[in-house]
């Protein structure tokens, strides 16, 4: 049997996702109409013999997470549990801390997926790749090709081109190492815990030798248990005939910032043609004009003269008035877009209102369309003291008056604006 572990991080993480992560934990943010994590779960459930999915993170169990787990278990008829870390333990520390839960029931292998990636999740392909390559006890990393410049922002993998063995692994190198990058999706078997255990014991010995590493002596246990799969495990395993890379040609992107959620939404909506055609809106007689891939929640109320798409997802209970134009945007639940407003490259927060004839527009942060290997740049918020032009984000419960323009701005929750803004963070 198989299991899957999804690493969902915690509230200190997802800071680049503000102001959207104030309302909902980042892994539950809706991308292409469903919570980000649901894409991972749907992919795991399709793998034959998958018996359990474990989420590991350090969010306090909150109502949203509990409700999501309950609904997902009902829908997918599989055990889905949340295991809460006592602190951020890193990508390796979390699975090591809960290793008994992972190996209970004796799975032959288990997947580990990072929650903040968007992918076609070729999990069954990784399984067959593992059977064909190396011994049954080998570990597989999902890799993809990036361009030379961007590869340095990721974990870089040097492979043996004939056997696909990982010969060398460097996390975010300072010079070019390889254009094959780590996708944050792995296939392990229980033997990985011996390798993580070695690092754990070494950390414990280091602590006895250097007890006060400039930190409080109280969090010693945490320091031994905080282990990073990438830097601490893969770097050591590379070149030992244990670690292999399966290169995927299908889509992959990171979801670090709110802007990258719109790009991820586009990739998933495009995939729906093959996986969930029922989620894509169609042009109907009395419905709005649909242009390209659009997801509309059945509870949304949309005027037939509105025009949506491409790449739009509309959440629960949204109202869209006459003559509204929405493109490349995510409209979250309860938002109200009044007649003739225009929303481009933006995320409109929960219960926000955009007045008549107003224009809310951002600058897309898409990868270079002419480079097949380009990835999305995780842009810093500021460059040269100026706000980098990016997706416009309205936090929850923001009111935009009629006939104003909001351009390349981030509006924090519960704001009533009274004029136009551009290139600003409105606190």
pLDDT at 220 over 60: no
Instruction: Return d(Cα 235, Cα 217) in angstroms, integer.
Output: 28
| 15-19, 101-105, 112-116, 298-302: the lowest-pLDDT one | 15-19
Residue 295 CA neighbour count, 13 Å, CB half? 30
Instruction: Return d(Cα 348, Cα 155) in angstroms, integer.
Output: 33
- Beta-bridge partners for 281: none
Per-residue pLDDT tens over the stretch 300-324: 999 999 999 999 999 999 999 999 9
The share of the chain scoring above pLDDT 70, in percent, equals: 95
Mean pLDDT of the chain: 92
Dihedral sign for Cα 154, 107, 133, 119, please.
negative
Predicted pLDDT of residue 214? 57
Instruction: Return d(Cα 307, Cα 27) in angstroms, integer.
Output: 29
pLDDT at 263 over 90: yes
Instruction: Return d(Cα 48, Cα 420) in angstroms, integer.
Output: 54
Mean pLDDT of 78-92: 93
Per-residue pLDDT tens over the stretch 312-369: 999 999 999 999 999 999 999 999 999 999 999 999 999 999 999 999 999 988 888 8
Instruction: Return d(Cα 196, Cα 227) in angstroms, integer.
Output: 8
**Residue corresponding to tokens 């803004």:** 421
pLDDT at 294 over 80: yes
Instruction: Return d(Cα 230, Cα 7) in angstroms, integer.
Output: 14
Predicted pLDDT of residue 213? 55
| 36-40, 44-48, 72-76, 362-366: the lowest-pLDDT one | 362-366
Q: What is the pTM of this model?
A: 0.94
Q: Which of 291, 403, 253, 250 is nearest to 340 (CA)?
A: 403
Predicted pLDDT of residue 222? 66
Instruction: Return d(Cα 190, Cα 78) in angstroms, integer.
Output: 21
Let me know if 105 is exposed, middle or buried by CB neighbors in 10 A (0-12, 13-18, 19+). exposed
Predicted pLDDT of residue 209? 81
pLDDT at 14 over 80: no
- Rg of the chain over CA atoms, in angstroms? 23
Residue 221: pLDDT band (50, 70, 90) is low
- Kindly list the structural domains of the chain, giving each domain's residue range(s) and its CATH number in brackets, ordered by start: 2-254 (3.90.550.10), 282-422 (2.160.10.10)
Rounded alpha-carbon distances, angstroms, from residue 255 to 183, 268, 349, 352: 12, 12, 18, 23
My answer on whether omega of the bond before 265 falls inside 30° of 0, hence cis, is no
Contacts of 198 (CB under 8 A, 6+ apart): none
Q: Are 292 and 272 in contact (CB under 8 A)?
A: no
pLDDT at 206 over 90: no
The SS3 call for residue 58 is coil
Instruction: Return d(Cα 203, Cα 92) in angstroms, integer.
Output: 13
Dihedral sign for Cα 203, 208, 210, 214, please.
positive
Q: Which residue has the higher pLDDT, 209 or 102?
A: 102
**Residue corresponding to tokens 């842009």:** 379
- The distance from CA 307 to its chain's CA centroid, rounded to whole angstroms, is 28
């Amino acid at each position: 049997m198989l299991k899957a572990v999804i690493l969902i991080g915690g509230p200190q993480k997802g800071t680049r996702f503000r102001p959207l992560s104030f309302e909902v934990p980042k892994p539950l943010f809706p991308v292409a109409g469903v919570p980000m994590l649901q894409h991972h779960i749907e992919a795991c459930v399709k793998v034959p013999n998958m018996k359990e999915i474990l989420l590991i993170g350090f969010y306090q169990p909150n109502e949203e997470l509990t409700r999501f787990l309950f609904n997902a278990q009902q829908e997918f008829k599989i055990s889905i549990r949340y295991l809460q870390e006592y602190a951020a333990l890193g990508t390796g520390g979390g699975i090591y801390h809960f290793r008994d839960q992972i190996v209970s029931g004796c799975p032959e292998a288990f997947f580990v997926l990072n929650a903040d990636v968007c992918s076609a999740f070729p999990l069954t392909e990784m399984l067959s790749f593992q059977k064909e390559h190396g011994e049954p006890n080998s570990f597989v990393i999902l890799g993809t090709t990036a361009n030379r410049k961007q590869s340095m922002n990721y974990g870089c993998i040097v492979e043996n081109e004939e056997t696909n063995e990982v010969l060398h692994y460097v996390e975010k190198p300072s010079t070019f190492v390889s254009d094959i990058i780590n996708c944050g999706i792995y296939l392990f078997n229980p033997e990985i815990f011996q390798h993580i255990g070695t690092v754990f014991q070494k950390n414990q010995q280091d602590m006895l030798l250097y007890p006060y590493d400039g930190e409080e002596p109280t969090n010693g246990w945490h320091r031994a248990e905080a282990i990073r799969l990438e830097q601490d495990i893969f770097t050591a395993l590379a070149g030992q005939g244990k670690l292999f890379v399966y290169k995927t040609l299908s889509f992959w992107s990171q979801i670090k910032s709110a802007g990258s959620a719109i790009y991820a939404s586009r990739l998933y909506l495009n995939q729906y043609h093959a996986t969930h055609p029922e989620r894509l809106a169609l042009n109907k007689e009395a419905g709005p004009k649909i242009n390209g891939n659009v997801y509309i929640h059945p509870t949304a109320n949309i005027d037939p003269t509105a025009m949506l798409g491409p790449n739009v997802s509309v959440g629960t209970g949204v109202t869209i008035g006459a003559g509204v134009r929405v493109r490349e945007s995510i409209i979250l639940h309860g938002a109200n877009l009044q007649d003739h407003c225009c929303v481009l490259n933006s995320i409109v927060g929960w219960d926000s209102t955009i007045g008549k004839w107003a224009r809310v527009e951002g600058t897309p942060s898409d990868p270079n369309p002419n480079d097949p290997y380009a990835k999305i740049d995780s842009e810093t918020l500021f460059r040269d003291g100026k706000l980098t032009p990016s997706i416009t984000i309205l936090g929850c419960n923001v009111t935009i008056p009629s006939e104003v323009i909001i351009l390349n701005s981030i509006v924090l929750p519960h704001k009533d604006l009274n004029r136009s803004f551009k290139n600003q963070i409105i606190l």
